[in-house]
């Protein structure tokens, strides 16, 4: 199959980039992007034909956004995908991160793998607006209105929509008025993950962005250290207790080089002051695999995550995952069997304490988790099912 992939930003090592990479390994596509930073994303992308779309003259009036990498990049990506006509011979175009789905404006046979409708425009709109000054609120409101107009033009014409979870599917129905998306959840390669032991640290791996809500995990670790099962002391705060000596929390992930994310990291470090919290930033794949192989259990605290590869990677290492009871992890984790689903930092701390004091249970849940992944969530299962979706889209010629 001759595949073209459209994904706007190859500049991080996150779950979306991992999905794109695994698809590329199978189909050897041409990849059309807007930003490609080989040193910041997975090195394997160098093995593929990655093409950066040329600038559009329509981007010039938005020069005032140059100091705002997030919005400047979004505007550039929007124009380039909306106006690009693919000249390669292809069977199907596989769009990924928004607004790459706008490539449908001038090209047929698009299968959009929707990781989520644009959260800044939809379910996280109010959250993001609260972060902005009044002038930026006005600017952002105008940009989002323009985004929705283009989205409403392109999405109804897309031949096939696939998404990563029922969480994302519900958003597609609610915000994009498409009721025909097919859920095909990403997986992991179990051979890449191993269990080398149970060191005394909880691992919290994700990109360092506010949406991952690391403060939730830090507060849970503070409560765990207090050994009071979620009850604050007289000052209203949790104080470290020597009974938790030797345990630490490791926060590991890619740090985007934006002001917003740098300030967020500073906030997290202040919050973690006085606790055994270690920050490991921009680690290589081998380093991350080593962290995975030796941790005790994983903490996952992202806001209503679309799907989430981290819980699957945790289970592939024969370790349980303690996650917030929302989003994709609420679907992939078998509560009480392969991990725990919790509704507050205090509850997360209770489950951390339970596993720390019961290593046999921790090991048992981890082994059950790996069985769960092998049966349901491997890249092989994912790619075989996705190929059928590509063929369906490829057959819809006008």
Order the strands of the 339-342 sheet from edge to edge. 277-281, 248-253, 201-205, 297-300, 321-324, 339-342
Residues 103 and 215 in one domain: no
| Among 137, 138, 147, 139, residue whose Cα is nearest residue 98 | 147
Contact 192/317 with Cβ under 8 angstroms? no
Give per-residue pLDDT as tens, 56-100.
Answer: 999 999 988 888 888 899 999 999 999 999 999 999 999 999 999
What's the confidence (pLDDT) of residue 243?
53
| Parent domain of 206 | 190-376
Task: Report pLDDT for 69.
Answer: 82
94 and 201, same domain (yes or no): no
- Alpha-carbon span 291 to 287, nearest angstrom: 6
Phi, psi dihedral angles at 242 (to 5 degrees): -65, -15
Q: What is the pLDDT of residue 236?
A: 53
Question: What integer pLDDT is reported at residue 285 of this predicted model?
Answer: 86
Q: Are residues 174 and 31 in the same domain?
A: yes
The predicted model scores a pTM of 0.86
The two tokens of residue 374 are: 């092998």
**Any idea what the CATH number is for the domain that residue 62 is in?**
3.40.50.2000
CA-closest candidate to residue 36, choices 20, 21, 53, 55: 53
Domain count, the chain: 2
Verify that 88 and 212 share a domain, yes or no.
Answer: no
Asked if 291 and 265 sit in the same domain, the reply is yes
Residue 17 shares a structural domain with residue 158: yes
Return the closest-CA partner of residue 70 out of 265, 256, 305, 254. Answer: 256
DSSP string of 54-87, one letter each residue: PPPGGGGGGGGGTT-HHHHHHHHHHHHHHH----
**What is the C-alpha to C-alpha distance for residues 209 and 187, in angstroms, rounded to an integer?**
23
Same domain assignment for residues 180 and 48: yes
Residues 86 and 69 in one domain: yes
Q: What Å distances lie between residue 302 and 188, 207, 250, 315, 322, CA to CA?
A: 19, 10, 16, 17, 12
Q: Residues in the chain, how many? A: 398
Closest CA to 72 of 138, 143, 132, 154: 143
Assess contact for 155 and 345: CB atoms under 8 A.
no
Give the pLDDT score at 186: 97
The DSSP symbol for 188 reads B
Are 129 and 8 found together in one domain? yes
What pLDDT, on the 0 to 100 scale, is given for residue 66?
82
pLDDT at 63: 86
> Which pLDDT value is given to residue 336?
98
Can you list the residues of the chain whose pLDDT is less than 70?
Answer: 228-244, 397-398
Tens-place pLDDT, residues 222-250: 999 997 544 454 445 544 444 567 899 99
């Amino acid at each position: 199959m001759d595949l073209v992939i459209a994904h706007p930003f190859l500049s991080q090592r996150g779950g979306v980039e991992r999905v794109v990479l695994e698809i590329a390994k199978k189909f050897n596509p041409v990849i059309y992007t807007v930003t490609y930073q080989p040193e910041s994303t997975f090195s394997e992308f160098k093995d593929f034909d990655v093409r950066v779309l040329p600038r559009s003259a329509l981007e010039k009036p938005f020069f005032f956004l140059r100091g705002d990498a997030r919005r400047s990049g979004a505007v550039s990506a929007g124009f380039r995908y909306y106006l690009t006509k693919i000249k390669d011979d292809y069977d199907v175009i596989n769009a990924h991160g928004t607004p790459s789905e706008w490539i449908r404006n001038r090209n047929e046979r698009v299968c959009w793998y929707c990781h989520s409708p644009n959260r800044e425009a939809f379910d996280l709109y109010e959250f993001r607006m609260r972060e902005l000054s009044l002038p930026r609120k006005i600017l952002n409101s105008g940009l989002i209105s323009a985004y929705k107009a283009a989205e409403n033009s392109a999405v109804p014409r897309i031949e096939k929509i696939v998404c990563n979870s029922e969480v994302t599917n519900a958003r597609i129905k609610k915000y994009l008025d498409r009721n025909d998306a097919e859920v095909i959840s990403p997986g992991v390669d179990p051979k890449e993950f191993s269990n080398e032991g149970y060191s005394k640290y909880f691992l919290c791996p994700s990109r360092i962005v506010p949406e991952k809500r690391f403060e939730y995990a830090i507060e849970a670790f503070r409560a765990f250290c207090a050994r009071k099962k979620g009850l604050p002391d007289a000052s209203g705060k949790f104080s470290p207790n020597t009974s938790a000596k030797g345990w630490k929390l490791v926060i590991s992930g890619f740090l985007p080089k934006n002001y917003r994310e740098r300030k967020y990291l500073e906030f997290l470090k202040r919050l973690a002051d006085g606790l055994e919290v270690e920050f490991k930033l921009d680690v290589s794949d081998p380093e991350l695999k080593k962290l995975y192989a030796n941790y005790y259990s994983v903490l996952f605290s992202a806001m209503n995550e679309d799907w989430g590869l981290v819980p699957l990677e945790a289970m592939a290492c024969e370790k349980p995952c303690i996650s917030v009871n929302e989003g994709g992890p609420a679907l992939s984790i078998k509560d009480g069997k392969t991990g725990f689903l919790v509704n507050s930092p205090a509850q997360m701390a209770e489950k951390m304490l339970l596993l720390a004091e019961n290593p046999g249970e921790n090991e048992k849940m981890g082994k059950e988790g790996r069985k769960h992944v092998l049966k349901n969530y491997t890249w092989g299962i994912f790619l075989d099912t996705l190929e059928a979706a590509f063929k369906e889209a490829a057959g819809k010629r006008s």
